[in-house]
Amino acid sequence: MKVGFIQCAIISAVFAIAGYIVFSSGSLEASLPVTVAASLLISGIVTPWLASFLSKSSTSASASSDVETKTSEETATLYVGNLPYKANEDAVKDYFKGFIEVQSVRLMKDRRTGKRKGYGFIEVITQDVDQAIIELNDKVFLDRTLKVRAAREKGETE
């Protein structure tokens, strides 16, 4: 990500210098506002677009290599409810690693207060989601009985 930003900053500087050369009319006072305007336009419009383009192309190249290595592994997202409010992502991940291979953990927080809501989502690597749910549902974690089920997409109802 830093490489893309640095590349964009260099490109923006090159465009600013090119704008100064192209728009110069012989006097520094006349060309300076035009150069500044061109530099701001390029850094404000072209640079963010170029940064997003560079980051997409670099992630798509790395994603295609990841697909080759993880073809045999399937991931599933599990909803985990009744989590202790004091539990953090690392504690939840460490606990679930005892039962299943965990890829990531997201615990939901209240936007205003920043306090945890007591539920979250765990992305796991498994071939049998139903067996994972059977193993994990109703387990006790930090004195709370967890409720585990397959996560639904937003807007999906049962």
CA distance 143 to 140: 6
CB 141 within 8 A of CB 87: yes
Contacts with 83 (C-beta within 8 Å, 6 or more apart), sequence order: 92, 107, 116, 118, 119, 120, 141, 144, 146
List b or e across 3-38, with b for residues whose CB sees 16 or more CB atoms inside 10 angstroms. Answer: ebeeebeebbeebbeebbeeeeeeeeeebeeebeeb
What is the pLDDT, as a whole number, of residue 60? 47
Cβ 38 vs Cβ 15: under 8 Å: yes
Reported as a pLDDT band with limits 50, 70 and 90, residue 132 is: confident
* The pLDDT value given to residue 46: 53
- pLDDT on residue 126: 86
pLDDT, tens only, 55-93: 554 444 444 444 444 445 789 999 999 999 999 999 999
Provide the residue type at 151 as one letter.
A
Distance separating the N- and C-terminal Cα atoms of the chain: 40
CB 42 within 8 Å of CB 16: yes
Mean pLDDT is lowest, of 67-71, 95-99, 109-113, for 67-71
